[in-house]
């Protein structure tokens, strides 16, 4: 990950201010059939920037009628889209990536304004990763092959990959563009048409993006309907004419989506979060060198994206022999995190995405205190004053406690770290696995044997080893246990958007002989 | 789970009770399922009865009196309950916009859980003392 160089950029102007790199429209309809259309019932809702707590645009408040229209439009587009060659589709994805790269700064500013995350991050991670995702699936698609199996000398099984048809995708608000692209790129590459429902907290940045790239896709291949979950999300998830649902979010909605899918007998992929352990073995602190610095950065990564990451390393497990020393160094490092205006490239931690998210985090800080955890730093809402006074800012917060406490077991989705100690390897693995979830984990050790064994023993879909929070397209991502079903990223994801067609062909010149 | 008439695991604030009454008028009888996991995890999700299917993997935490003819049942998955069983939950409502399919989404308010540790008397009553 390339990080913005210090001191090279000044604060970006906010959308709506003079000199802004990104401007939002004052109102957005749904994106259906390659253009913006008004919601059928004519209703809109306000979209608030968490940077200053004020509305900046309106978006369509979709209902079942809009979902029906989007699904119909997508099926019409599928008639042609399913016949396009892998080359054509791959080339379109590459053009989308190029277009995004041309407008990287504008997209980054637009996303920051809507989500509250630092522009430092959207410039260096969210948007470049989204661009690379399109390129990766363009490449994967070109290299993908079906199969030929020889059954006997005269009989051959051909295996073709075919698209599913129209798929529904429900996107979370923590990475409004990257999480949409994680789902879109493989679905489009595989030849599917999409009806996408963004989160109601972040409905506009994906529309900002589609306005830039929409002309590159045939009309109707990608359709975006905004609205509230109960009014637009649920009708999409239970629609009788979608062939698959992909969802990222929490467990109750995940169950509801599976319930709907069971009624329609369609597949789902679910990514439902985690409570990721970041395990630091004692040899990490053997020397105060670059590796030690890297480990401290890994410790501090709970604050990346304000902790609003499904894989947030929100439990730090420190070996007892280095506990005090490492925790002290970690607290000092966390104290250097710069909190401020998300549009300032120097800012490392910005605003929480919504007011209810802010409230939830503050309530968990209270739960931590009431549950007997020791507050080591932070623990308050941050008042940044001026224009930002009404924004949703929380200080990076560290608690010490034990793994049975609720702050060690529940995904707070904020910059809140819970630290505990372990005695030896087995104790570390026991604590790491004592969770309902299994999405991510981190292992830090200079001993390759220790890190390998720990990585294999932890029940999680992704174990970062001597690193954390890297999300390359070419590495599979997904959950064990209650963290979900299926994988995203990697060519494996193409399979989640494909049917297997088998042609079983006989070249024998005579009958089989049964009749 | 043993329960007495004087102890309950769940409660509701006046603000949330008012919202539940309004939503009941709109959607009919409601229930609540406490979520876990990412994004809007930890939010109490409120649905019309019949929309969300509960089963053997769920625990009925109790029922809240929102001033309606029928109390509103509050559920949580059994696995999550293992970690939450020492906690008393109060359903509150704050301005905000949640994702998920919970019925209050369009109102501009969001149900949120306030928690406290169970008292010694409650722990005894629930067989956890």
CB–CB contact B117 A370 (8 Å):
yes
CB–CB contact B112 A363 (8 Å):
yes
Catalytic residue among A282, A310, A400, A411: A310
- Alpha helix stretches (DSSP H) within A214-370: 234-237, 251-264, 290-300, 323-335, 355-370
Nearest CA in chain A to B35: A252
Task: Report the run of H or E that residue A220 belongs to, with start and end.
Answer: none
CB of B35 within 8 Å of a chain A CB? The answer is yes
For residue A310, list chain B residues with Cβ-Cβ distance below 8 A: 38-39
CB–CB contact A249 B96 (8 Å):
no
The residue-averaged pLDDT of A193-209 equals 97
- B6: confidence class by pLDDT, cuts 50, 70, 90: confident
CB of B37 within 8 Å of a chain A CB? The answer is yes
Task: Give pLDDT, residue B2.
Answer: 47
Distance CA A307, CA A301 (A): 8
Please answer whether residues A46 and A83 qualify as being in contact, where contact means their C-beta atoms are separated by less than 8 angstroms.
no
Q: What is the mean pLDDT of chain B?
A: 92
The residue-averaged pLDDT of A314-329 equals 98
Asked whether residue B36 carries a pLDDT value surpassing 80, the answer given is yes
- Residues sharing a CB contact under 8 Å with residue B112, sequence separation 6 or more, in sequence order: A356, A359, A360, A363, B43, B44, B91, B92, B93, B94, B96
Task: Give pLDDT, residue A399.
Answer: 98
For residue A249, list chain B residues with Cβ-Cβ distance below 8 A: 37-41, 99-100
For residue B102, list chain A residues with Cβ-Cβ distance below 8 A: 229-230
Asked whether residue A8 carries a pLDDT value surpassing 80, the answer given is no
CB of A259 within 8 Å of a chain B CB? The answer is yes
Encode pLDDT of A358-410 as tens digits.
999 999 999 999 989 999 999 999 999 999 999 999 999 999 999 999 999 99
Distance CA A212, CA A234 (A): 28
DSSP 8-class letter at A136:
H
The residue-averaged pLDDT of A308-337 equals 98
- A3: confidence class by pLDDT, cuts 50, 70, 90: low
Task: Give pLDDT, residue A242.
Answer: 98
Q: Which of A442, A415, A336, A390 is nearest to A117 (CA)?
A: A415
Nearest CB to A250 within list B37, B110, B115: B37
Q: Which two tokens stand for residue A441?
A: 């984990």
- φ and ψ at A7, to 5 degrees? 75, 5
Distance CA A196, CA A262 (A): 20
CB of B119 within 8 Å of a chain A CB? The answer is no
Q: Which of A3, A14, A2 is nearest to A344 (CA)?
A: A14
CB–CB contact A411 B36 (8 Å):
yes
Q: What is the mean pLDDT of chain A?
A: 96
Asked whether residue A313 carries a pLDDT value surpassing 60, the answer given is yes
Distance CA B14, CA A120 (A): 42
- A182: confidence class by pLDDT, cuts 50, 70, 90: very high
Please answer whether residues A74 and A188 qualify as being in contact, where contact means their C-beta atoms are separated by less than 8 angstroms.
no
Please answer whether residues B40 and B99 qualify as being in contact, where contact means their C-beta atoms are separated by less than 8 angstroms.
yes
The residue-averaged pLDDT of A475-503 equals 95
Rounded percentage of chain A residues whose pLDDT exceeds 70 = 98
Q: Which two tokens stand for residue A56?
A: 């900046």
For residue B96, list chain A residues with Cβ-Cβ distance below 8 A: 354-357, 359
Q: Order of strands, edge to edge, in the sheet holding B109-117?
A: B10-12, B87-95, B109-117
Encode pLDDT of A97-141 as tens digits.
999 999 999 999 999 999 999 999 999 999 999 999 999 999 999
Nearest CB to B99 within list A199, A231, A371: A199
Alpha-carbon distances, residue A238 vs A63, A68, A71, A103, A341 (angstroms)? 13, 11, 12, 36, 40
Rounded percentage of chain A residues whose pLDDT exceeds 90 = 96
Encode pLDDT of A358-369 as tens digits.
999 999 999 999
- Put simply, the chain A residues between 207 and 236 with a CB less than 8 A from any chain B CB are 228-231, 233-234
- B5: confidence class by pLDDT, cuts 50, 70, 90: low
DSSP 8-class letter at B100:
S
Torsion of CA A92, A97, A100, A101, to 10 degrees: -140
Q: Which two tokens stand for residue A31?
A: 């994106």
CB–CB contact A482 B37 (8 Å):
yes
DSSP 8-class letter at A344:
S
The residue-averaged pLDDT of A430-454 equals 97
Encode pLDDT of A261-309 as tens digits.
999 999 999 999 899 999 999 999 999 999 999 999 999 999 999 999 9
Exposure letters A195-225 (e unless 16+ CB within 10 A, then b): bbbbbbbbbbbbbbbbebbbebbbbbbbbbb
Encode pLDDT of A56-104 as tens digits.
999 999 999 999 999 999 999 999 999 999 999 999 999 999 999 999 9
Asked whether residue A1 carries a pLDDT value surpassing 60, the answer given is no
Encode pLDDT of B52-102 as tens digits.
999 999 999 999 999 999 999 999 999 999 989 999 999 999 998 877 999
Asked whether residue B29 carries a pLDDT value surpassing 70, the answer given is yes
């Amino acid at each position: 990950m390339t990080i913005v160089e210090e001191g090279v950029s000044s604060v970006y102007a906010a959308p709506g201010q003079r000199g802004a790199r990104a401007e939002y429209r004052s109102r957005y309809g749904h994106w259906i059939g390659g253009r913006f259309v008004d919601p059928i019932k004519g209703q809109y809702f306000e979209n608030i920037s968490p940077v200053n707590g004020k509305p900046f645009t309106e978006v369509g408040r979709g209902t079942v009628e809009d979902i029906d229209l989007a699904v119909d439009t997508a099926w019409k587009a599928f008639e042609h889209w399913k016949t396009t060659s892998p080359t054509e589709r791959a080339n379109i994805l590459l053009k989308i990536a190029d277009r995004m790269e041309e407008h990287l700064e504008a997209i980054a500013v637009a996303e920051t304004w809507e989500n509250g995350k630092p522009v430092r991050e959207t410039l260096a991670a969210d948007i470049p990763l989204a661009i690379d995702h399109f390129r990766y699936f363009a490449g994967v698609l070109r290299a993908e092959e079906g199969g030929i199996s020889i059954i006997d000398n005269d009989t051959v099984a051909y295996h073709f990959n075919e698209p599913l048809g129209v798929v529904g995708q429900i996107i979370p608000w923590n990475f409004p563009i990257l999480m949409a692209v994680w789902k879109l790129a493989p679905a489009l590459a595989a030849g599917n048409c999409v009806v996408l429902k963004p989160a109601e907290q972040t409905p506009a940045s994906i529309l900002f993006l589609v306005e830039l790239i929409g002309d590159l896709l045939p009309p109707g291949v990608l359709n975006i309907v905004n609205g509230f979950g109960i009014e637009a999300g649920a009708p999409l998830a239970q629609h009788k004419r979608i062939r698959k649902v992909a969802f990222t979010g929490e467990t109750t909605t995940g169950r509801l989506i599976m319930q709907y899918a069971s009624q329609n007998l369609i597949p789902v992929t679910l990514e439902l979060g985690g409570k990721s352990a970041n395990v630091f073995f004692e040899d990490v602190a053997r020397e105060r060198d670059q590796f030690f610095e890297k480990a401290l950065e890994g410790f501090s990564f709970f604050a990346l994206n304000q902790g609003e990451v499904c894989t947030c390393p929100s439990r730090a497990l420190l070996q007892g022999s280095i506990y005090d020393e490492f925790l002290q160094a970690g607290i000092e490092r966390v104290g250097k995190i710069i909190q401020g205006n998300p549009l300032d490239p120097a800012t490392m931690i910005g605003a929480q995405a919504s007011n209810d998210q802010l409230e939830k985090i503050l309530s968990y800080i209270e739960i931590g205190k009431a549950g007997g955890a020791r507050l080591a730093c932070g623990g308050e809402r941050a008042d940044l004053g001026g224009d930002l006074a009404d924004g949703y800012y929380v200080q990076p917060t560290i608690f010490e406690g034990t793994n049975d406490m609720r702050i060690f077991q529940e995904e707070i989705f904020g910059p809140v770290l819970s630290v505990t100690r372990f005695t030896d390897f087995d104790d570390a693995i026991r604590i790491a696995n004592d969770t309902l979830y299994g999405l991510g984990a981190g292992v830090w050790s200079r001993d390759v044997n220790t890190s390998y064994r720990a990585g294999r023993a932890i029940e999680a879909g992704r174990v970062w080893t001597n690193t954390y929070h890297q999300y390359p397209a070419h590495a599979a991502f997904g959950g064990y246990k209650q963290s979900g079903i299926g994988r995203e990223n990697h060519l494996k994801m193409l399979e989640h958007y494909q049917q297997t067609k088998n042609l079983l062909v006989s070249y024998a010149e005579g009958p089989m002989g049964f009749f | 789970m043993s329960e007495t008439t004087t102890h309950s695991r769940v409660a509701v604030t006046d603000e949330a009770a008012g919202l539940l009454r309004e939503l009941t008028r709109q959607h009919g009888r409601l229930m609540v399922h406490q979520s876990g996991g990412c994004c809007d995890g930890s939010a109490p999700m409120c649905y019309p009865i019949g929309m969300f299917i509960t089963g053997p993997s769920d625990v009925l935490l109790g029922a809240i009196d929102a001033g309606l003819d029928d109390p509103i049942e509050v559920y949580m998955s059994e696995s999550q309950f293992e970690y939450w069983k020492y906690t008393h939950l109060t359903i509150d409502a704050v301005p905000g916009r949640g994702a998920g399919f919970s019925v209050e989404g369009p109102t501009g308010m969001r149900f949120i859980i306030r928690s406290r540790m169970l008292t010694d008397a409650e722990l005894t009553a629930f067989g956890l003392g």
